[in-house]
Amino acid sequence: MDAALPLRTAPPAAPFALPESAREGLSTTPFGLYVHVPFCATRCGYCDFNTYTSDELGPGANRAEYAGTVVAELRRAAEVLGPDRPEVSTVFVGGGTPTLLPAEDLVAVLAAVRELFPVADDVEVTTEANPESVTPASLARLREGGFTRISLGMQSAAEHVLAVLDRRHTPGRAAEAAAEACAAGFEHVNLDLIYGAPGETDADWAASLDVVLASPVDHVSAYALIVEEGTRLARRIARGELPMPDDDVLADRYEQADATLGRAGLDWYEVSNWATGPAARCRHNELYWANANWWGVGPGAHSHVGGLRWWNVKHPAAHAARVAAGESPTAGSELLDDDDRALEAVMLGLRLRDGLPLTRLSPAGRLRAADAVVRGLLDPAAHEAGRAVLTDRGRLLADALVRELTD
d(CA 200, CA 256): 14
Q: Per-residue pLDDT averaged across 272-299, rounded?
A: 96
Summarised one tens digit per residue, pLDDT across range 340-361 is 888 898 999 999 999 999 999 9
Summarised one tens digit per residue, pLDDT across range 289-300 is 999 999 999 999
Examine the fold and report which residue of 254, 270, 289 is the final residue of a domain before the chain moves on: 289
Summarised one tens digit per residue, pLDDT across range 250-261 is 999 999 999 999
Residue 44's pLDDT band, with cuts at 50, 70 and 90, is confident
Summarised one tens digit per residue, pLDDT across range 101-112 is 999 999 999 999
One-letter amino acid of 342? A
Domain count, the chain: 2
By percentage, how much of the chain surpasses pLDDT 90? 79
Has residue 61 been placed in a domain?
yes
Has residue 304 been placed in a domain?
no
CA distances to 27, 185, 257, 271, 311 from 335, in Å: 19, 41, 39, 28, 12
Has residue 126 been placed in a domain?
yes
246 contacts 218 by C-beta, under 8 angstroms: no
User: What is the CATH classification number for the domain harbouring 124?
Assistant: 3.20.20.70
Residue 343 and residue 270 share a domain: no
Residue 155 and residue 59 share a domain: yes
Residue 173 and residue 49 share a domain: yes
Residue 349 and residue 281 share a domain: no
Residue 125 and residue 194 share a domain: yes
What confidence score (pLDDT) does residue 5 get? Answer: 33
Examine the fold and report which residue of 229, 261, 289 is the final residue of a domain before the chain moves on: 289
What confidence score (pLDDT) does residue 91 get? Answer: 98
Rounded to whole angstroms, the maximal C-alpha distance in the chain is 60
Residue 349 and residue 276 share a domain: no
Q: Which tops the pLDDT comparison, 9 or 73?
A: 73
Residue 10's pLDDT band, with cuts at 50, 70 and 90, is very low
Has residue 305 been placed in a domain?
no
Contacts of 162 (CB under 8 A, 6+ apart): 155, 156, 169, 170, 171
In this prediction the pTM is 0.92
Has residue 141 been placed in a domain?
yes
d(CA 112, CA 110): 5
Contacts of 377 (CB under 8 A, 6+ apart): 390, 391, 393, 394, 397, 401
Examine the fold and report which residue of 265, 289, 313 is the final residue of a domain before the chain moves on: 289
Residue 280 and residue 358 share a domain: no
Q: Per-residue pLDDT averaged across 176-205, rounded?
A: 97
294 contacts 287 by C-beta, under 8 angstroms: yes
What confidence score (pLDDT) does residue 280 get? Answer: 98
d(CA 70, CA 23): 23
Query: What domain range is 357 assigned to?
Result: 338-407
Q: Per-residue pLDDT averaged across 56-63, rounded?
A: 66
Residue 49's pLDDT band, with cuts at 50, 70 and 90, is confident
125 contacts 148 by C-beta, under 8 angstroms: yes
Residue 374 and residue 247 share a domain: no
Has residue 37 been placed in a domain?
yes
Has residue 36 been placed in a domain?
yes
Q: Which tops the pLDDT comparison, 21 or 217?
A: 217
Answer yes or no: is pLDDT of 12 > 80.
no
Residue 342 and residue 264 share a domain: no
1 contacts 289 by C-beta, under 8 angstroms: yes
d(CA 201, CA 235): 22
By percentage, how much of the chain surpasses pLDDT 70? 94
Residue 362 and residue 278 share a domain: no
Q: Per-residue pLDDT averaged across 55-62, rounded?
A: 63
Has residue 311 been placed in a domain?
no
Residue 237 and residue 351 share a domain: no
Residue 176 and residue 99 share a domain: yes
